[in-house]
């Protein structure tokens, strides 16, 4: 059986590996070595030179297959000087571990790895448990999409994801939709704006109208388990210099959707606004 000290060690080593989105291979290789120490074979599935997901499984006779899954990447820690501890230190103070990923979700991934090792060593189950550690969850869900295409989820009867949620076991989740809206204008000098067409102004109009339309539609639809759809503009880009009228601007947004107002319906509303503005 895994001791608590061994589990903490696995988590600390994971936290110490900088896996800000785009740099997960080192963490996958570390987990491969941990599993090998306990007699469990695993496979690295490259996404590109710096990124690789990991798949491993243990079986004990015939039965159903459950997948246990977590992601290797973390979001950027921002300015490290704003942290009381280095974001990739894994420092432990008063029983609390500090570092990017200690919650989302290297702790969950370390727990799943420990569980797989204990199942391998202890038996006591029938069927197959498949560990899937993915790249690119924070931006793009890249690893999960790749592994699904490559058949890693084939034959799986149930899936348990170790993502933190503060509410215990969750059996349903909102959908996630990312989209980008681009505004094109005509460049001109800021001293002669009448000769140009300001792409940022047009983009602001689009953001306002899309947000209003989505908010109205979301207010009319709800789900008894998931609540309502919501929509947030999260990135903006536009302009090249202070004294030029911009000819290009864009925003990116993320929506969390429900079956009653789903991805397709929300995008229909976005496209309707774009058509009206065009």
Give per-residue pLDDT as tens, 19-57. 998 889 999 999 999 999 999 999 999 999 999 999 999
Could you tell me the pLDDT band of residue 248, with boundaries at 50, 70 and 90? very high
Classify the phi-psi angles of 239: left when phi > 0, otherwise alpha if psi is within -120 to 50, otherwise beta.
left
Encoding tokens for residue 183?
A: 């505004």
Options 73, 138, 247, 269, the catalytic residue? 73
Cα 60 to Cα 1, 64, 127, 130, 154: the distances in Å are: 17, 10, 5, 12, 18
- Per-residue pLDDT tens over the stretch 162-208: 998 777 788 888 999 999 999 999 999 999 999 999 999 999 999 99
For 45-49, 133-137, 166-170, 231-235, which range has the lowest pLDDT when averaged over its residues? Answer: 166-170
Instruction: Specify the CATH architecture of the domain 4-161.
Output: 3-Layer(aba) Sandwich (3.40)
Encoding tokens for residue 240?
A: 């090249």
The CATH fold assigned to 175-277 is: Alpha-Beta Plaits (3.30.70)
Active-site annotation holds for 137: yes
∠ CA 9-14-19, nearest 5°, is: 170
The pLDDT of 137-150, averaged and rounded, is: 91
Question: What pLDDT was estimated at residue 1?
Answer: 81
Question: What pLDDT was estimated at residue 170?
Answer: 84
Sorted by where each begins, the domain ranges of the chain are: 4-161, 175-277
Q: How far apart are CA 104 and CA 116, in angstroms?
A: 20
Active-site annotation holds for 73: yes
Question: What pLDDT was estimated at residue 167?
Answer: 73
Question: What pLDDT was estimated at residue 171?
Answer: 86
The pLDDT of 223-240, averaged and rounded, is: 96
Options 24, 57, 137, 269, the catalytic residue? 137
The pLDDT of 266-276, averaged and rounded, is: 98
- Per-residue pLDDT tens over the stretch 103-130: 999 999 999 999 999 999 998 899 999 9
pTM: 0.74
Question: What pLDDT was estimated at residue 22?
Answer: 85
Residue 139 pLDDT > 90: no
- Compute the Cα dihedral for 29, 25, 138, 132 and give only its sign: negative
Residue 141 pLDDT > 90: no
Q: How far apart are CA 140 and CA 177, in angstroms?
A: 10
Q: How far apart are CA 178 and CA 145, in angstroms?
A: 15
Q: What is the mean pLDDT of the chain?
A: 95
Question: What pLDDT was estimated at residue 236?
Answer: 97
Could you tell me the pLDDT band of residue 258, with boundaries at 50, 70 and 90? very high
Q: How far apart are CA 118 and CA 126, in angstroms?
A: 14
- Per-residue pLDDT tens over the stretch 69-101: 999 999 999 999 999 999 999 999 999 999 999
Encoding tokens for residue 128?
A: 């197959």
């Amino acid at each position: 059986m895994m001791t608590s000290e061994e589990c903490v060690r696995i988590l600390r080593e994971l936290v110490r590996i900088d896996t800000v989105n785009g740099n997960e291979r080192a963490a996958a290789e570390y987990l491969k070595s941990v599993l090998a120490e306990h007699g469990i074979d695993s496979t690295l599935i490259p996404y590109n030179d710096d990124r690789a997901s990991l798949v491993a499984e243990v079986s004990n006779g015939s039965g159903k297959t459950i997948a246990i899954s977590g992601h290797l990447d973390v979001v950027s820690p921002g300015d490290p000087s704003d942290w009381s501890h280095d974001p990739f230190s894994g420092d432990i103070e008063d029983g609390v571990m500090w570092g990017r990923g200690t919650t989302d979700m290297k702790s969950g991934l370390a727990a799943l790895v420990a569980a797989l090792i204990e199942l391998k060593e202890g038996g006591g189950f029938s069927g197959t448990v498949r560990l899937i550690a993915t790249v690119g969850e924070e931006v793009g869900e890249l690893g999960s999409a790749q592994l699904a295409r490559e058949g890693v989820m084939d034959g799986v009867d149930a899936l348990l994801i170790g993502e933190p949620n503060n509410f215990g076991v969750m059996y349903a989740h909102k959908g996630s939709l990312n989209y980008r809206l681009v505004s094109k204008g005509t460049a001109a000098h800021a001293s002669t704006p009448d000769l140009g067409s300001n792409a940022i102004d047009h983009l602001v109009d689009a953001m306002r109208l899309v947000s209003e339309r989505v908010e109205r539609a979301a207010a009319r639809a709800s789900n008894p388990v998931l609540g309502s759809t919501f929509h947030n503009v999260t990135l903006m880009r536009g302009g090249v210099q202070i004294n030029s009228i911009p000819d290009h601007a864009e925003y990116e947004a993320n929506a969390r959707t429900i079956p009653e107002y789903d991805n397709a319906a929300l995008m229909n509303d976005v496209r309707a606004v774009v058509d009206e503005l065009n």
